[in-house]
Structures are given as structure tokens and as C-alpha cells.
Structure 1
Amino acid sequence: MNPFAHAPESPKTRWRDRLLLNEDLNFLLTNRVPRIALTRFMGWFSKIRSPWLARLSIWVWRQFTELDLRDARLQRFDSLHACFTRELVPGARPVDPDPAVLVSPCDAIVGALGTVQAGTVLQAKGMPYPLADLLGSAEDAAAFEGGQYLTLRLTSAMYHRFHAPDDATVTDVRYLSGDTWNVNPIALKRVERLFCRNERAVLRLRLHDGQPLLIVPVAAILVASIRLHCLDVLMHLRWRGPRDTRCHAELTRGQEMGWFEHGSTLVILVPPGLAPVVRTGERLRMGQALLRRGPVIGLS
């Protein structure tokens, strides 16, 4: 059975999809608004501890998304934040044990992917951006020239925690404060260098075989805070540093690394020798095979 299969189209689905697929209206409602102010408000509102307010907020949320809480560890929440950052029941996300693959760190829809060429990658077709701008370092960008990048988009209804794609050590974290543009496909086609504008963190990992890997969580409107277990701090819009933090966090494949407070994007960067086994538009669950050690076969 396809875990992402949808129920038959309902009147609610029809009106919601008409609204969300109207590109001009979608872009206006999710970007041409006071993004940072709304994001800060949502951060405050979501943490109000009130079970009845949480139930009401979740009901409204469900009118616009396919929110499915059947695999959540808790079925009742005392705040909207608790629902956003929910844990899952044990075994809900089996992790591929094949040592030849790296697994998806999160539930996601695969966005742009391909080879880093001349220090440039794509956020959407026809919308390139300099990798150095995303990472805040030309040296880091140069280290992944000829390697692969993958963009994994988490929708607001998805499970929002992200995990280690393989046995690895987190060696340091760079935090880059920024804006809170929406990161949906409509915005990615219209806003140049969008990922480079938004708040983000750059997590540098060393895999068990010695290869480097970067995971870049990019925040978005209504999100703009990132929690990492390897750092004893919540990174958010009002936090101004330090920019670079050394750490030494050893992780096993599938171990939880942190979470977003709504939904957003992970950009994954790997060196040559790792090939994607997924395609643009594919829906993934955390733990599914994402990359295989071997030659790049040009999936897109």
C-alpha cells in the first residue's frame, strides 16, 4: 500500500487545492506579508499551553493540509508546538540497514538535485544560486565541487524531525540568520537565491568511512527556529551567535539530530562517489534509501 495515497477528492480538497494552486494568490498570502513578524507571532502562539486551543488550531491546520497523526506517539497535545514537533511511535520509520546506502534524514518531497558545477546548484529549474552563498563559505563550497546536492522539502503536515543519514560525527555547526521566505515550489520559481536569504544552519558531518557530508536546514515563514541536539541552544531569529560552533556529536544511522518548528527544507551535499537513488518529485519517509555509494547515474 502506498503510504502517501490520498482518499477520494472531497469538496474540502477541491477548494483547498484551487486556493493553493493559484500561484499568484499563494505567493501573495505566503510571502507578501510581514514574514518575520508573523513568524515570531507563530513562535509565541504555538507554545501557548491550552489543550482546547491546540485542538482548534489543529482542526484549522487540517483544513489546508493532509495532516495525519496516526503514527504520532501522542494523540493529544497541550500546544500547537507539541504537535509540530511530535515524536513517532517506535518502528514508524524503518531505517534501511544496507551499508552501501545513505538514508533520507527526514520525511520529504525531493526537490532539485544534481551535480555541483562551477560552484553553482539549482533551487528550481532555471533558478541557480552560488553554493558559497548558501554555506557562507567559499572554501566549503569548493570542497563539494563535482559532488551531488539534493533538496528535501518538508511540508507543514509532515513529521518535522530529522535524523542522521548514516553513522557519522557532527564536527561543527555554522548558523546564518536571515529572512523567512516561504520555501514552496511557487516561491522557489520566483525568488532568486531564496535559500541563501533565509535563516539556516550548516551542519558539517564526517561519515564513518571518512567522507564529508553537509546538511543545511533552511527555515521558512512561520518556522525560523532550529533545534539541534548537539548544541544546547535554540537557534532562532533573535539569536545572533556564535556564528560557528565546534562540537563532537557521534551519531548512529537514523538517530535523531533535531527538528524544525513547522516545516521547511534540508539541502544535502555529498562528495563525488555517492549517487542519488531518488528522483525529483518523489515522496520519501525518513529511513528510506537516498544515496548509494557508487557512480552517479544522472537521476533527475
Structure 2
Amino acid sequence: MVNIQKLTKREQINYLLTNRIPRRWLTFFVGWLSQIENPLLTKFLIWGWSLFAEDLRLQDAKKQHFSSLGDCFTRELKDGLRPITADPDIVTSPCDAIVGAFGQVRGTEVFQAKGFPYEISELIPNLHINHKYRNGVFITLRLKSSMYHRFHAPVDCNVSKVSYISGDTWNVNPVALKRVEKLFCKNERAVIELKTGHPTNSITLVPVAAILVASMKFKFLSQILDLKYKGPNDIACDAQFKKGDEMGYFQHGSTIILFATNNYSFCEGIETGKAIKMGQALLSGHSDLSTL
């Protein structure tokens, strides 16, 4: 765990406010508050949120009036704002995000930040899934609270199961990632294997929830996966997606970690700290991904 005395004053405030408070109860409270449908309260909450999120672009939203803060968090975008790279050999970004750690998996070791490794099996307990990414590639995509919160299929695929893993609600901002070991492995998350129809191409998404509204809603599941969920960990489904189809959304900013087999390489322009849009080219493969 971090030595708080070694942080700058600003980092100390950020760290203390987001990681030394009762995260679970604050998350429940904000989740409750964000669902209240009251016009004046909604305007006030969005105004307060905009003070801390200078890059909030509500003019891109499909609608301009929101019934609640949660309605604003999960807003849809106007049509055409996120063109999808059509090449079937290209894996696109599933979401708007800031690129975090990315690169090759070293055996079974992944990095959340420089000097902070974790084992794939600690994040994805399922051996059938995690062994596919030995020496594969990974990328961490952080959704800021101001960003578009919905995530989409990065390839044509089908999904037969979602595995839910209950956990904590640590903040996933860069300050915490550099100081809390194995943070992603501690947080609430889901594991979604995308079946491309090709025997050597495998891609898995791991949406990771975080503090405040720690909730994931998948369009193809009736359940909302949040801190109150008490159902089975493995949820069977039968969902088909074309590249760019919406899969679900976070009810607040968080992170998606994407894993792919070692026959993929990163496209030009992928850099740590750089913003990326949903639908933008992320990985390039060498096989036909359209054989579903």
C-alpha cells in the first residue's frame, strides 16, 4: 500500500478523497442520488459535475434534457459521431477512453502501471479463458467520468456467457493505479469472452467498475451487475454483435481491459495518456474475422 507522505499535496488530497473514504457506502449514496428524477436537482447536479469535468461535451448527446444525473451519465451520442473502422482485420476500441498501460503480456504477467504487475489469473480466474492470452497483448482503456459511458463490440462476435466477480470500488485514476497493487484484481468486474468464429483469434473484455456509481448494465442481460447483485457469478446468454453494436454501459466512468491473442499488433497512434474514440482502430490482425 502507498506511503501517503511521499505524495504531493494535490495527490494526497486526490488519494484521500477517493480511496480513504467509505467507498462502498459513498457508491450506494451516489447511485441512489443519480437516479432521482427531479428537474431542478438534475440541473444542479450536472452543473456541479461540470465544474470538475471541464471536458464534458453534452452538446454531443442525442438529447439535451435529462431526467436524472444517471440519465446524463449514460447518455447516447448523436448518430454518426463515432465512425467504425470497417476493415474486418481491425479490432476497434470498444469505448471512448484514455489509453493506460498496454503492450505484450509477459508470459502471464500484465502491468496496471509501471512497476505494478499482476497475473492474468488474478484478474480472470477462468483458466479456460486466461491461458489464451499467455504472451498475448493487452490494453487498459480508462473512461473518465465526463466521457461517453457506453461500450461497443470491437469485432463481429457472439457472447455465450458473462462472468461477474464481486469486489471493491477503488478509484481507477492514475494516482491510485501507481500506488495500489493489483487494483483491478480487487475491484468489481465482469469477464466477457468474444467468440469471433476463428480458432486462433481470441479477444476478451474485462469491464472494471469503480467508486461512485459502480454498476454495469449489459443490453443482452436482464440483470444489472452492481454491488447489490446476489445472483450467479456465471450468467449464460446468447448474444450476437456486429462490430460497433452497443453492448452495455457503465453508470459512471471506469475501465475496460482488452486482451487479445499474440497474432494481433497495435495500430499506429496508440500511446499511453492519449485519448481514443469508440470505433477507432486499436489492433490489427492477420486473419479473416468475418467468418461467424
Q: If the length of structure 1 is used for normalisation, what is the TM-score?
A: 0.89
Question: CA-to-partner distance for each residue in 1:104-128, whole Å, 9 max, x for gaps?
Answer: 0100000001111231100000000
Aligned to 2:23: 35
Whether contact under 8 Å (1:223, 1:264) holds in the other structure is no
1:206 CA drift (Å): 0.7
One of 36, 49, 55 as aligned partner of 2:37: 49
Secondary structure at the aligned position of 1:216 is classed as strand
- Displaced runs of 4+ in structure 1, greater than 3 A? none
Aligned residues: percent identity? 49
Q: Which amino acid aligns with 1:212?
A: S
Structure 1 residue 257 corresponds to structure 2 residue 251: no
Aligned length: 276
Root-mean-square deviation (CA, aligned residues, Å) is 1.5
The question of 1:216 aligning with 2:206 is answered yes
Cα 1:294–1:23 change in 2 (3 A) is farther
Moved more, 144-153 or 113-122: 113-122
The CA deviation string for residues 178-210 of structure 1, in whole angstroms up to 9 with x for no partner, is 000000000001100100000000011111434
* Counterpart selection for 2:264 from 274, 280, 297: 274
The aligned counterpart of 1:23 is 11
- Distance in 2 separating the partners of 1:63 and 1:165: 32
Residue aligning to 1:130: 119
Separation (CA, whole Å) in 1 of partners of 2:169 and 2:110 = 21
Look up the equivalent residue of 2:157 and give its one-letter code. Answer: A
Q: How far apart, in 1, do the equivalents of 2:60 and 2:153 lie? A: 20
Residue number in structure 2 paired with 1:229: 219
Q: In the alignment, does 2:74 pair up with 1:74?
A: no
| Further displaced range: 262-271 or 229-238 | 229-238
Write out aligned runs for 1:1-300 (5 A): 22-65=10-53, 66-210=55-199, 211-277=201-267, 278-294=270-286
What amino acid sits opposite 1:193 in the alignment? Answer: K
Q: In 1, Cα distance between the equivalents of 2:245 and 2:138? A: 22
* Contact residue 46 and residue 80 of structure 1 kept, 8 A: yes
CA contact (8 A) 1:175 1:241 kept: no
Q: How far has the Cα of 1:213 moved from its partner?
A: 1.1
TM-score with structure 2 setting the length: 0.92
CA distance in 1: counterparts of 2:73 and 2:24, whole angstroms: 19
Deviation at 1:137? 2.4
> Aligned partner of 1:93: which letter?
R
What is the SS of the residue equivalent to 1:257? strand
2:121, 2:278 → 1: CA distance?
28
Unaligned runs of 5+ residues in structure 1 are 1-19, 296-300
3-state SS in 2 of match to 1:291: strand
Unpaired stretches in structure 2, ≥5 consecutive residues: 1-7, 288-292
- Secondary structure of residue in 1 paired with 2:151: strand
- SS of the residue corresponding to residue 205 of structure 1 reads strand
Separation in 2, partners of 1:284, 1:32: 30
CA distance in 2, matches of 1:137, 1:97: 31
Provide Cα deviations, 1:140-164, integer angstroms capped at 9, x if missing partner.
Answer: 2222101101000000000000000
- Please give the secondary structure, in 2, of the residue aligned with 1:87: coil
The offset of 1:294, in angstroms, is: 4.5
- For residue 63 of structure 1, give the secondary structure of its aligned residue in structure 2: helix
Q: What is the distance in 1 between the residues matched to 2:17 and 2:258?
A: 29
Query: Contact 2:170 / 2:183 at 8 angstroms: preserved in 1?
Result: yes
The worse-fitting range, judged by mean Cα deviation, of 112-121 and 20-29 is: 20-29
